[in-house]
Amino acid sequence: MIRGLRHVFWLGAKELRTLSRTPALIVFILYALTALVYATGEGISLEVRSAGVGVVDEDRSQLSRAIVDALRPPRFRAPQEIPEPEVGTVLDAGTHTFVLQIPPAFERDLLQRRRTRVKLDVDATAVSQAYLGASYIEEIIGREVRRRRGAVTGPAPPPAEAQVRVRFNPNRQGRWQVGVMFLGFMITLLTAVLPAAALLREREHGTIEQMLSMPLHPVELILGKAWAYILVVLAASALSLVVVVEGALETPMRGSYVLLLLATVVYQLTTAGLGMLLATFARSLAQIGLLSLLLLCPMLYLSGAWMPVESMPESIRWVASLMPFHYYARACYGLIIRGAGLSAIASDLAVLGAMGAAALTVGVLRFRSRFGVPVG
């Protein structure tokens, strides 16, 4: 057992030395975990932001002006008056996502309790914005109408009020979730691909036969190759957490760092295990590249970490529960944003541990048959 650990240690040390001789790779690992996380955190959101609005205001009343004024940053860019014939052109060109058309005598008809209608044209190719933005605009119209009517005919309190209170993130900052999520995703990418690529490269260069002639158990070989990269990625991620996520993206860290470290290490072991398992199926580095994309792409889009699981069609939701990233992201959100404790993330850690153990077991078995390991 001690000898096994020593083997693992020296194998990893060798990997670290190789890595230290390739500065380009180290630079890109750091870049991926810091600058890219910042850029996505700052720049990407699914909410309506700076959406272009065009207005055809044929009423020009106090009410119509109030409605137009209510469409303001950060959600909307200041609305632009456009002539009615250009509505289609503007939508085709994509310069405006929404075009609101207010008919003449709108305010007058409304106050005299006649039927009124407003036209809202939406560019639905701006997917996340189209539905949310349209529903905001409807709410804004309703609110301004009630306010105007209240000002003219006297206040009419509603039967009851619905007060929405957002916990953990009252200002609905998108940066927190996106930053944490992409940091987790970059950890996934690097930890899945690096050890697997290192393993395959030895095979391509023929040095794996040398390895196998040594008294090494496949488990030692796999763990030995993996821990160096896990350590490097972990260190860079810790840096990123403090400098980028907490610092630049101003995300509060409400839970325990120790628990976060534990969750990350378990996740990395699982991901490295999966990557190595993939490596036993691939015959070349090129194939590993392609196969890892096959894993990473659904992990990004369908794990429920970026877009919520509830947004996926019901028949596809089980796919999210197959992905390790789903559990890791959930644990991270709980620890970082909600301040959850061990009891809340225990089940996620358990699932990750089970997945990792399974991947490692299958990986070792396949390793034996793939590389024809004679040692026991």
Number of residues in contact with other proteins under rule CB under 8 A: 121
- For residues 3 and 167, which CB has a smaller minimum distance to other proteins in the complex? 167
Question: One-letter amino acid identity for 111?
Answer: L
In the complex, the smallest distance separating the C-beta of residue 169 from other proteins, rounded to whole angstroms, is 3
Tell me if 350 contacts other proteins by CB under 8 A.
Answer: no
Nearer to other proteins, 163 or 369 (CB): 163
Q: Is 158 in the site for other proteins (CB under 8 A)?
A: yes
- Output the smallest distance, CB 62 to other proteins, in A: 15
Site string for other proteins, 160-199 (x = CB under 8 A): xxxxxxxxxxx-xxx-xx----x------xx--xx--xx-
| Footprint (CB under 8 A) of other proteins, residues 116-145 | 116-132, 134-139, 141-142, 145
- The contacts of residue 258 (CB under 8 Å, 6+ apart) are none
Distance CA 225, CA 76 (A): 51
Spatial neighbors of 176 by CB under 8 A, at least 6 apart, are 169, 249, 250, 251, 252, 336, 337
Task: Quote the Cα angle for 19-364-352, to 5°.
Answer: 80
Instruction: Name which position in 15, 34, 52, 267 contacts other proteins (CB under 8 A).
Output: 52
Distance between first and last Cα of the chain: 14
Question: With binding defined as CB under 8 A, does residue 1 bind other proteins?
Answer: no
> Measured between alpha carbons, how far is 191 from 369 in angstroms, rounded to an integer?
24
With contact defined as beta carbons under 8 Å apart, do 82 and 54 qualify? yes
How far apart, in whole angstroms, are the C-alpha atoms of residue 82 and residue 99?
9
Give the x/- contact pattern for other proteins in 211-250, rule: CB under 8 A. ----------------------------------------
CA distance 181 to 193: 18
- Under rule CB under 8 A, which residues in 271-290 are in contact with other proteins? 283-290
- Interaction residues for other proteins, span 55-114 (CB under 8 A): 91-94, 97, 106, 110, 113-114
62 versus 213: smaller Cβ distance to other proteins: 62
